[in-house]
Amino acid sequence: MKFINIGYGNMVSSSKIVAVVSPDSAPVKRIVQEAKAKGLAVDATCGRKCKAVIVTDSDHIVLSALSPETIENRSEEE
């Protein structure tokens, strides 16, 4: 099982990631709010601004303070 560092010591299994998107659009903001209401959101920003939303195959949403490009580069390195 391969893990990707999503910042500040937090890791996500690369096999579970469906998408890594920017949190700026209205549909993504709506998805994040719905996940928070259902208890499916994991905030891994450590109090910093959210720059990426990671969607997993189990419908969980992981919020990261790293940009989607940085997460992509880290996934390619491993």
Reading the chain (78 residues) residue by residue, the pLDDT tens digits are 899 999 999 999 999 999 999 999 999 999 999 999 999 999 999 999 999 999 999 999 999 999 999 999 999 886
3 state DSSP class of 9 = coil
Residue 66 burial (CB count, 10 A): 24
Using alpha carbons, select from 33, 22, 32 the residue that is nearest to residue 61.
32
Question: Residue 28 in contact with residue 60, Cβ under 8 Å?
Answer: no
What is the domain partition of the chain in residue ranges? 3-77
Question: Model-level pTM?
Answer: 0.94
Question: Residue 65 in contact with residue 50, Cβ under 8 Å?
Answer: yes
What's the pLDDT score for residue 66? 97
What's the pLDDT score for residue 78? 66
